[in-house]
Structure 1
Amino acid sequence: MSAKFDWDAAYSNGAYIPGGNDFPPRWKSLASDFREEMTAVGRLKADISYGAHERNVLDLFMPRGEVKGLVVFVHGGFWMSFDKSTWSHLAKGSLAHGFAVAIPSYVLCPQARISDITVQIGIAITHAAGEIPGPVHLTGHSAGGHLVARMVSSTSPLGQPIRHRIHKTVPISAIGDLRPLMKTRMNETFHLDPVEARLESPALLEPQEGVDVTAWVGGAERPEFVRQSALLANIWSGFQCHADVVEEAGKHHFDVIDGLADGDHPLTRTLLCL
């Protein structure tokens, strides 16, 4: 008889990354330094409210000179942790190419359900797009990758005018099928049921026609995250859109996002269609 599959281990990242506990404080420090730098030169519009809750706020980083469009980065943390202030430095790559970058916080589980968070992110993107004209490019990491994929699915909370402005979506290490999460201890916080899991799983939904999506994942990530990224790209490639997957060699779940801070990195160039 085969051993029972350990779904908690499948989604556990830090335990399988050398020095995994060092990454969150490192991100926080890098983000804080960058926020100070951008504040000093007047290129950070901080804590813009997009909703009633105290966590319904976003930061908007402005490039030098003419603005070419908007990038939105949605953070991860399994919908349960972090906020916008940990990821500010990841705006660097897009700013270098003239794009404004919005990074929202959102109400976390269990105060909100995952379906509620989807709606919040739709409102945040709509608000940011109202501040910045031009094309919109979406990216997010882990749970944030799930959320940006939802934005370009058939049941996106975004209105048609915003949907038509989205040029590229790059879910990074995204969770496309939420159903396995019901088998983890995390579901004591998510309270996912089969209906919500299905309705909130991008891989189980049709993409909007004509969208351009690249699922990006580290080649050294937990096998479940590699599988999930390949699943989303595989299923969506069967519809009237462009969908592919990139496995970045040697990258794990915590350093796969580093490329967003570098304007010349393939991750940034893919996001901006360069």
Structure 2
Amino acid sequence: MELDDAYANGAYIAGGDKFPDRWAGAAAAFRDAAQCELDQPYGGRAREDYDLFLPVGAPKGVVIFVHGGYWMAFDKSWWSHLAAGPLARGWAVAIPSYDLCPDITIAGITRQIAAVVDTVAARFAGLPLRLTGHSAGGHLVARMGCADVSLAARHRIARIVPVSPLGDLEPLLRTSMNETLQLDAAEARAESPVLHRAPDAPVTVWVGADERPAFIAQAQGLARAWQGDLVIEPARHHFDVIDGLADPDSNLVAALLG
């Protein structure tokens, strides 16, 4: 369809097809060495669980990372290694799975992420929460800042860092993937963070300079709508822009925890 190419990532990344295996291998190796509690439930459905990674000593707070995949692919097991940066800085990290379209709507996934945020917040009573997510996950953590989402722990959210987020879903109506997403115009508007009031928590929108123009425009649009900080990281594309989360000394981790 009209905008399929605009939102195609792997075709424009050298060796893009090799990244999923690389992520899965790094994640499995990290779990083998980490102090973690796997498959913690936040609801009653099969994919409503999260993996929790714990630092040495009492955590300073909790980072929740929400994965991408256009709401259609992956689960928590591909991303465990991205906990390494915050973990080394003394923060616990929760990484949830969620149901995938077309078995659920994007609005339904938004409700699932709200449920995991409240579940994790209750487990770590009184500690601050910092939310980050990539691509579709960037959309989902941005939605946690929107007043229409029922979220008991919103006042605990100290910062939101959407990475390469989809802040405006209306263009996706003009893509073939909408056969799976099954968005209509009303849901696309309701689920677009750019059309909601900015959250009280500070927001830093992060995107790679080598990403598709549509993703740079999406990041710019969300930062502008919410008057948040915008970082366009040099020499990063859609698949490696999240690598900084695995490095405690990276600028991305500094933005998330600073």
Common topology (TM > 0.5): yes
**TM-score by structure 1 length?**
0.92
Determine the C-alpha separation between the residues in 1 that align with 2:102 and 2:244. 31
Determine the C-alpha separation between the residues in 2 that align with 1:52 and 1:68. 29
Using the aligned pairs only, state the percent identity.
Answer: 54
In the TM superposition, what are the counterparts of 1:124-273 in structure 2 within 5 Å? Answer: 124-133=116-125, 134-159=127-152, 162-208=153-199, 210-237=200-227, 243-273=228-258
Deviation at residue 156 of structure 1 after TM alignment = 2.2
Report the residue type matching 1:143 in the other structure: A
Aligned to 1:240: none
Determine the C-alpha separation between the residues in 2 that align with 1:15 and 1:46. 33
Cα pair 1:59 1:103 within 8 Å, conserved: yes
Deviation at residue 147 of structure 1 after TM alignment = 0.2
Determine the C-alpha separation between the residues in 2 that align with 1:236 and 1:58. 29
Deviation at residue 154 of structure 1 after TM alignment = 2.0
Determine the C-alpha separation between the residues in 1 that align with 2:9 and 2:130. 27
Structure 2 portions without partners, runs of 5+: none
Cα pair 1:118 1:157 within 8 Å, conserved: no
Q: Does residue 65 of structure 2 align to residue 80 of structure 1?
A: no
**TM-score by structure 2 length?**
0.98
Cα pair 2:198 2:225 within 8 Å, conserved: no
Structure 1 portions without partners, runs of 5+: 238-242
Report the residue type matching 1:129 in the other structure: A
Aligned pair count reads 257
Aligned to 1:97: 89
Cα pair 2:53 2:93 within 8 Å, conserved: yes
Determine the C-alpha separation between the residues in 1 that align with 2:76 and 2:116. 12
Determine the C-alpha separation between the residues in 2 that align with 1:226 and 1:157. 29
Cα pair 1:216 1:246 within 8 Å, conserved: yes
Q: Does residue 20 of structure 2 align to residue 20 of structure 1?
A: no
**Cα offsets for 1:81-133 (capped at 9, x unmatched):** 00000000000000011100000000000000000000000001111111223
Report the residue type matching 2:142 in the other structure: A
Determine the C-alpha separation between the residues in 1 that align with 2:204 and 2:39. 29
**Cα offsets for 1:176-203 (capped at 9, x unmatched):** 0000000000000011001000000000
Runs of 4+ more than 6 Å apart? none
Aligned to 2:100: 108
Determine the C-alpha separation between the residues in 2 that align with 1:183 and 1:108. 20
Determine the C-alpha separation between the residues in 1 that align with 2:39 and 2:7. 31
Determine the C-alpha separation between the residues in 1 that align with 2:120 and 2:5. 36
Q: Secondary structure at the match of 2:203?
A: strand
**CA root-mean-square deviation:** 0.9
Aligned to 1:51: 43
Determine the C-alpha separation between the residues in 1 that align with 2:73 and 2:8. 14
